[in-house]
Structure 1
Amino acid sequence: MRTDGAPRRRFAGLDGCRGGWILAQWDGAGQLHLARLPSVAGLFEGPDAPDIAAIDMPIGLPDRVGPRGRAPERLVRPLLGLRQSSVFSVPARAAVMAGLGDGPEPQRYRAACAAARATSDPPRAVAKQCFHLFPKIGEVDALLRRRPDLSGRLLECHPEVAFWAMNGQQPLDLPKKVKNRPFPPGLDLRRRLLGAWGVPLDLLDEQNARALGAGLDDLIDACACVVTAKRVACGKALCFPDPAERDAFGLPIAIVA
């Protein structure tokens, strides 16, 4: 609690992992809590629900997309230098819904690619990495459509864009992974940036990552998201695009950092 008697604001950052989400909860000062969540909805069901949560998952699915995906992807990629390949092109809503249909994965992937080609200019299929995110994209989309009261409290972010903002709006020169394996110098760089922004670092180690069934990079990314949540609450966040676009259901199409 704050010494002036007012409750400290609560922030959350979420990064997807196998079978759920890594959650970073932070009071903006000295207390950081890391946990594993089976669903995003559970975060908002109790009395300790965050004031602002930032999630590394696309929110807002347009009816059509242009070259290189939605407007947020097109705007943030040039900022990231060598890290821009971490930003996937998200297809139109019809492609995501087709990929979440019934049937075996190859059939659903073909259906998603067909729908993506029909709703993109120029026609473009779905990258496999993005396709594997569809269940989590669908989970967040369904939650926000069911809970319009969460609009403005659960926002899309991207860890590398968050680190760009933390790094004085400069791209990071070291990757988190090399050949799909953790790259310690890149992870250490991101830990230092988090520490410089006040995030406690004592939980960001391999032991805690193993205990949560995740990689250390997942924990670090969740913390990047929670810093973004605090930046939003403090009025310091950047929005790409600004103002945000909206999809047919009124959900914002924007990345905040």
Structure 2
Amino acid sequence: MWVAGVDGCPAGWIAVLMRRDDPLVHHVRVVPRFTDIVDGTEQPAFLAVDMPIGLPDHTEGSGLLPEKLVRSLLGARQSSVFAIPSRAAVHAQSYEDACALAASTSDPPRKVSRQGFNIFPKIVELDALLRRRPELAPRLYEVHPEVAFWSLNGESPLAEPKKVKSRPYEPGLALRRDLLRRAGLPAALIDARPPRGAAADDLLDALAGLTVALDIATGGGRSFPEPPGRDAHGLPVAIWTLRRR
């Protein structure tokens, strides 16, 4: 059985794929489309992806319930959990339209950040895929890297960020690599150079997702909330991490 940790990256998607029964069988791949992963040669049975799954028609307060629940765990890292606006705003064709639609479908009215808007195409890609092919939903699990690292760190927020002023911050990256080593991932993966089209933090985030996918594949996993909610299209609404140790 193959499992995968997946993150968005400048060239599309970065996936770390591993055989659950043989951790030495693994590889890292950057692909332009998410379907290249789910329909690829490995056909991973469990994919943990750092991208929202399930979108609201209307938002209240500081975002969806999963976002509120995990944000409270992360201390100084809580700003890394974005509030996802409504599906209409995410599917908007321009930043101005996205802001207008987000404000009209939120209470209190909230616009969207440029940073958030830049990842909307990937959210739309995943949302459209799952609505077109709902049979994929049991294989896909939304994760957030900082929540995975929180779990790997003994359910404690990390003291160092992975970026400072939008630039890689080596002490924070080193801390995350150490947690991945302690989780038992092969050094060849942790110390690998990211493939062309992805950055070092993209690879680390995909590896964090992989630890969650491996845990879910062995009967573990923990969702916020528990059980997951559902959106208007029946898609799951939850952020997953590792089970309590």
Shorter-chain TM-score tier:
over 0.9
Give the match's secondary structure for 2:72: helix
Aligned to 1:245: 229
Unaligned stretches of 5+ in structure 2?
A: none
The TM-score, its normalising length taken from structure 2, stands at: 0.93
Q: CA deviation at 1:213?
A: 2.6
State the SS of the aligned residue for 1:60.
coil
Aligned partner of 2:217 among 216, 233, 237:
233
Counterpart pick for 1:64 among 58, 62, 68: 58
Identify the residue that residue 120 of structure 1 maps to in structure 2: 106
How far apart are the structure 2 equivalents of 1:251 and 1:53?
15
Paired position in structure 2 for 1:142: 128
**Shift, 1:46, TM fit:** 3.7
Pick from 14, 17, 22 the counterpart of residue 22 of structure 1: 14
Name the structure 2 match of 1:49. Answer: 43
1:236 CA drift (Å) = 2.1
Residue matched to 1:4? none
Query: Which residue is equivalent to 1:208?
Result: 193
- Contact kept in structure 1, 2:181 and 2:190, CA below 8 Å: no
Report the alpha carbon displacement of residue 214 of structure 1 after superposing the two structures with TM: 1.8
- SS of the equivalent of 2:85 reads coil
Query: Amino acid of the residue matched to residue 186 of structure 1?
Result: G
Which residue is 1:3 aligned to? Answer: none
Query: Of 130, 139, 146, which aligns to 1:153?
Result: 139
Task: Give 1:31 shift.
Answer: 2.8
Partner of 1:193: 179
Bigger Cα Rg: 1
AA of the residue aligned to 2:32: P
- How many Å apart are 1:72 and its aligned residue? 1.1
Deviates more, 1:164-173 or 1:24-33: 24-33
Aligned residues: 239
Give the drift of 1:212. 2.3
1:70-128 Cα offsets, whole Å, 9 max, x none, are 11111111101111111111001111122xx3xxxxxx111111111111111111121
% identical aligned pairs:
52
SS of structure 2 residue aligned to 1:73: helix
Unaligned runs of 5+ in 1: 1-8, 102-107
For the residue of structure 1 that corresponds to 2:220, the secondary structure is coil
Who is 2:81 aligned against? 87
Q: Which moved more, 1:216-225 or 1:19-28?
A: 19-28
1:10 deviates by 1.2
What's the offset of the Cα at 1:47? 4.4
Alpha-carbon displacement from aligned partner over 1:40-76 (angstroms, at most 9, x marks no partner): 1121224411010010001111111111111111111
Structure 2 residue identity aligned to 1:124? R
Provide the rounded CA distance (Å) in 2 between the counterparts of 1:21 and 1:212.
Answer: 11
RMSD between aligned alpha carbons?
Answer: 1.3
The amino acid that maps onto 2:86 is: A
- Measure the CA separation in 1 of the matches of 2:52 and 2:120: 10
What's the secondary structure of 2:210's corresponding residue?
A: helix
Using the size of structure 1 for normalisation, the TM-score is: 0.89
Asked if 1:11 is matched to 2:10, the reply is: no
Measure the CA separation in 1 of the matches of 2:60 and 2:187: 40
Amino acid at match of 1:17: C
Partner amino acid, structure 2, of 1:233: A
